[in-house]
Amino acid sequence: MSYCLNPHCQKPQNPRKNSFCQNCGAKLTLKDRYLAQKLIAQGGFGRTFLALDLDIPSQPPCVIKQFLPDILNPSEIDKAKQLFDQEAHQLDKLGEHPQIPKLLAHVEQEKHLYLIQEFIDGQNLAAELAQNGPFSETEIKQILESLLPVLEFIHNHNVIHRDIKPENIIRRKSDHQLVLVDFGAAKLATKTLLAKTGTIIGTPGYTAPEQALGKPTFASDIYSLGVTCLHLLTQIDTLELFDPNENDWVWQHYLTTPISPQLQHILNKMIAMALKKRYQHPQEVLKDLTLVKLPLTKATKPATPIPSILPRLVEIDQKYGYINPEGKLIIGLEFDKATHFTDSGLAAVKIGRQWGFINHEGKLQIPPQFDSVGNFSEGLASFKQSKWYLLQSKWGYINTYGEIVINPEFNDVYDFKEGLAAIRLGMSWGYIDQQGNIVIEPQFDEVSSFAEGFAKVKINNKWGYIDKIGKVVIPPRDNGRNFSSGLAAVKINQLWGYINTEGNIVIQPQYLDALDFFEGLAPVKMETKFLGLLITGEKWGYINTSGTVAIEPQFDWAYGFSEGLAAVKKNNLWGYINKLGQIIVEPRFDFAAHFVNGIAEVVLGGQCRYINKRGKLIY
């Protein structure tokens, strides 16, 4: 179907094939290109249509905004047209922002003025509220952090939106970014038109007092965004959140879950009735938001039980999804980057330029909003998020509900291990606890995560080990690896051996290389000899915790055991052995990783594939 743009047409619906309206005879397309399909909004100044762009083979959707100057006299119409052209140029500049719809065209046709804008495919926040119920404090903070820079952008272009509300904020389906819409014909209204209609631009309940008097300021948009947050937090009509008898807001009475005093203060300052008491610029709000430290709280929405076997990551044609143990694709190839699931039941996924997290069902638990993330470990994941008002990006930590529990203030970070995480301030590394407190002052050039109570640190170009209060308990040596099974590989005078937790050498340095113990065995690299005399090469084998050779050196490369099997390289191909050294999966792969839940990732013919423990390709 197509829809007639003539506002006086009594029967505007037409068959798609028609070029002219079968009722009034009006032309159905704009510029012989844009075809309206249905009316989606109507107000005092114009109408909005969902349309198609017929010039592009796929005929993508777009939006037509029609400005109706019918009640103006000829001189006023000429002025309106002039302002229309000026506003169209302004909207074209605003469309350069990724969170504002692009202006595709502006048209005058049959005495009406039109804007054609990009269609944003997604769900608005009013629909999200109706579907999911009140928003959490974390979600409100994310909304503010996403939209305040947009307000800053439009205000720098001397534009006041004047109609911010949940219906005009769309979460774009492609990247889950929030998009501010309705920079449309209403903003083109002249003072003459406003006087004739007696209409104030804006929506009752969201409009700032000064805007209701016809004197909007940039702070009016901040007010409307603040009221929007109140409605999303409470799911109560905004007019009910204000007590006219007290001339004050009573929105806190309607909260179903408490929010932090810091965020309450910010929202109250955003919605202050007196203009002088309100935030004047978006950056003021953003600065205060950095001080909001959300506590570790339980989820506001019930978590789905985590299964014992989680989906496994796959990559095909540079897109990522997840399979089950039988190799069936259960989470579609819809991500630009992704990581494996962790014990938290979450996996990091990248959509467009930003990272978020999905649960094992493939549903977004934490919407994409970060420039980079780490994996969840011990209930927390690191995140990196650029802020326009900071000189550089910093790292912090979130919990599994997306709540910021450690504010971003570090130059670099590691995942939490044994209750501590390595962090870098400036050029030096130290450690913090899960409350963000520095427990080991930054003082090391390089560090590793804690393992079995010890962390490897670099001191004067040598590696030693510290305990959890930062005391050097094992003196530095040439190099070292993490502790596992009570032992750590160390390098002394170019050869590798193993020490115990007291720092005593228990397996003498004799190996060319040595890795960590897994499942009681460690891969080591040795010189191989014939009849004890002739050196024939360097091969990898395995030793036990006593230093006895358990699997003779015979491999070009070897990894640790996982689920009873270890990946080994022989004759430039990878396969798998058991703990007796028997080949279980014949070497035929370009690369092989360890097994997780009975599945291992391999590279075959340049492509990532997946096998079971019998070596059968399952995907």
Q: Which residues pair with 421 in a beta bridge?
A: 432
CB 427 within 8 Å of CB 444? no
Tokens of 284: 């003021």
- Per DSSP, the residues of 89-148 read HHHHHHTTSTTSPPEEEEEEETTEEEEEEE---EEEHHHHHHHH-SPPHHHHHHHHHHHH
- Kindly report the backbone phi and psi dihedral angles of residue 602, in degrees, each rounded to the nearest multiple of 5, phi listed first: -135, 160
Q: Which residues pair with 65 in a beta bridge?
A: 48, 115
Task: Tell me whether residue 163 is one of the annotated catalytic residues.
Answer: yes
Distance CA 451, CA 517 (A): 12
CA dihedral over 96, 98, 99, 103, signed as positive or negative: positive
Q: Which residues pair with 198 in a beta bridge?
A: none
327 CB-side CA count, 13 A = 10
- Kindly report the backbone phi and psi dihedral angles of residue 365, in degrees, each rounded to the nearest multiple of 5, phi listed first: -95, -35
Distance CA 58, CA 409 (A): 46
Q: Which amino acid is at 541?
A: G
Q: Are strands 112-118 and 61-67 parallel, antiparallel or unpaired?
A: antiparallel
Question: Please, what is the Cα angle at 238 between 234 and 243, to 5 degrees?
Answer: 105
Three-class secondary structure of residue 81 per DSSP: helix
Long-range CB contacts (within 8 A, 24+) of 494-500: 496/524, 498/522, 498/547, 499/474
Distance CA 332, CA 329 (A): 6
Sheet holding 46-53, edge to edge: 29-30, 34-42, 46-53, 61-67, 112-118, 103-109
Tokens of 424: 């870098």
CA-wise closest residue to 88 among 117, 131, 129: 117
53, 55, 78, 163: the catalytic one is: 163
Q: What is the 3-state secondary structure (H, E, C) of 373-433?
A: ECCCECCEEEEEECCCCCCCCEEEEEECCCCEEEEEEECEECCCECCEEEEEECCEEEEEC
Burial of 340 (0-12, 13-18, 19+ CB in 10 A): middle
Tokens of 442: 């930054």
Which region holds residue 460: left if phi is over 0, alpha if psi is between -120 and 50, else beta? left
- CA–chain centroid gap for 313, Å, is 18
CB 613 within 8 Å of CB 563? yes
Distance CA 571, CA 591 (A): 12
CA dihedral over 252, 254, 260, 264, signed as positive or negative: negative
Question: Please, what is the Cα angle at 231 between 251 and 265, to 5 degrees?
Answer: 50
Residues known to be catalytic: 163
